[in-house]
């Protein structure tokens, strides 16, 4: 996280580098040999950057001639801002790509064995049936009686009765022909099988593929309003007017800034919260110095007459951020 913060600071310093790049007459590697270019009264463990201290003005009242006319001229300097632009680095183009053929697996029914006929011998069928057969026909016979009441007369004592005997039958089983033997023609159906085969679904073709253009986002300084002159007419009579005069010129000055020594994600978060509270930052509070944080801090410094060109300790104090 510290490395990310350091990298973000370097990006910030690069964006506003036209304010903070001193003219170095003597330099060896990364070491400045001209000691006059070092920050004065520097403290060990702190980092410094040359930042632009804006001009200072004061307003005063002055009595002007009441009858004699005149005018007050106010020069408004041009305004610039850092904007991001997309630059074309590679034009759009086309290329041909080979689209291979596609295949699919299908199932197909094939004849394995054709239909045919066979003759089948069906034997005769028999069944067993039962039949009643007369063994003895019906007849009447005389039989002796069983008691005195049945006697013919009292002289003999022999009793005879005429009895009808029913016919007698017996059940016999016999096998009879149910269906005669025969020869029938039987059809055997054809036999089929399922086989899988690969067939071409779409033939190979070529396709025209568009390669989009490539762009790169760069930061550029643009003038948003030109310098202008505002003339204010002063009536020809004495009256009290307010004038603004410059009491100090803008200059480059060494200021303590956040650096690897005192830069933490928590400090960046507090800066983002303070800027968001004052209406200068609208991004996430993520502890990373991004374009939104840089832009918001620059706007805050400009609005409060603070030095620009880095995350100065003076700006932190004004924001109420404690180290």
Count the Cβ atoms, other than its own, within 10 Å of residue 242: 9
Task: Check residue 68 and report its DSSP letter.
Answer: S
- The residues, ordered by sequence, that sit 6+ positions from 279 with a Cβ below 8 Å of its Cβ are none
- The residues, ordered by sequence, that sit 6+ positions from 39 with a Cβ below 8 Å of its Cβ are 48, 254
- How do the domains of the chain map onto residue ranges? 2-83+219-319, 116-188
pLDDT in tens, 209-257: 888 988 888 888 788 788 888 888 777 777 777 777 777 666 666 766 6
pLDDT in tens, 40-85: 666 654 566 667 767 767 787 877 666 776 777 888 888 888 888 8
Give helix 265-277 / helix 291-303 axis angle, nearest 10°. Answer: 50
Q: Are 268 and 323 spatial neighbours (Cβ–Cβ below 8 Å)?
A: no
In DSSP terms, which residues pair with 143 in a beta bridge? 161
Q: Specify burial of residue 296 (Cβ count, 10 A radius: 0-12, 13-18, 19+).
A: buried
pTM value is 0.34
Can you point out the beta strands (E) in the chain? 27-28, 31-32, 47-53, 56-65, 70-76, 79-90, 93-99, 102-113, 116-122, 125-136, 139-144, 160-165, 168-179, 182-188, 191-202, 205-211, 214-225, 228-234, 238-248, 251-257
Closest listed residue to residue 93, CA positions, set 182, 250, 210, 219: 210
Give CA–CA dist 135/163, Å, rounded.
Answer: 19
- The residues, ordered by sequence, that sit 6+ positions from 136 with a Cβ below 8 Å of its Cβ are 167, 168
- The residues, ordered by sequence, that sit 6+ positions from 314 with a Cβ below 8 Å of its Cβ are 255, 306, 307
Q: Are 302 and 292 spatial neighbours (Cβ–Cβ below 8 Å)?
A: no
Q: What is the pLDDT of residue 250?
A: 64
Give CA–CA dist 6/11, Å, rounded.
Answer: 9
Question: One digit per residue, pLDDT tens: the chain, 323 residues?
Answer: 444 444 454 444 434 443 334 433 344 444 445 555 667 666 654 566 667 767 767 787 877 666 776 777 888 888 888 888 888 878 888 788 888 989 888 888 888 788 888 888 888 888 888 888 877 888 887 777 655 555 555 555 566 677 788 888 888 888 888 788 888 888 888 888 888 888 888 898 888 888 898 888 888 878 878 888 888 877 777 777 777 777 766 666 676 666 666 678 888 888 999 999 999 999 999 988 889 888 998 999 888 888 887 788 888 888 888 76
User: 23 vs 7, 50, 54, 133, CA distance in Å?
Assistant: 23, 11, 20, 150
């Amino acid at each position: 996280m510290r490395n990310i913060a350091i990298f973000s600071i370097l990006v910030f310093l690069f964006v506003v580098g036209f304010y903070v790049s001193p003219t170095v007459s003597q330099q060896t590697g990364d070491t400045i040999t001209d000691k006059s270019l070092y920050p004065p009264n520097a403290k060990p463990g702190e980092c410094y950057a040359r930042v632009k201290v804006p001009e200072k003005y004061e307003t005063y009242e002055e009595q002007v001639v009441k009858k004699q006319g005149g005018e007050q001229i106010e020069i408004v300097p041009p305004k610039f801002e850092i904007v991001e632009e997309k630059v074309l680095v590679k034009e759009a183009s086309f290329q041909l790509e080979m689209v291979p053929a596609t295949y699919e697996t299908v199932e197909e029914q094939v004849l394995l064995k054709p239909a045919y006929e066979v003759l089948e011998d069906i034997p005769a069928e028999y069944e067993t049936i039962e039949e009643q057969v007369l063994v003895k026909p019906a007849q009447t016979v005389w039989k002796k009686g069983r008691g005195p009441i049945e006697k013919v007369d009292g002289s003999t004592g022999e009793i005879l009765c005429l009895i009808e005997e029913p016919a007698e039958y017996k059940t016999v089983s016999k096998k009879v022909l149910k269906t005669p033997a025969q020869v029938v023609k039987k059809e055997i159906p054809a036999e089929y099988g399922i086989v899988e085969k690969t067939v071409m679904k779409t033939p190979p073709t070529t396709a025209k593929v568009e390669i989009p253009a490539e762009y790169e986002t760069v930061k550029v300084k643009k003038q948003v309003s030109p310098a202008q002159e505002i003339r204010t007419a002063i009536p020809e009579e004495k009256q009290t007017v307010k004038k603004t005069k410059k009491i100090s010129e803008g200059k480059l000055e060494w200021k303590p800034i956040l650096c690897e020594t005192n830069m933490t994600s928590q400090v960046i978060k507090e800066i983002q919260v303070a800027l968001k509270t004052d209406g200068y930052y609208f991004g996430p509070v993520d502890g990373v110095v991004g374009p939104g944080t840089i832009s918001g801090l620059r706007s805050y410094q400009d609005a409060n007459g603070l030095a620009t060109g880095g995350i100065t300790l003076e700006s932190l104090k004004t924001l109420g951020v404690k180290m």
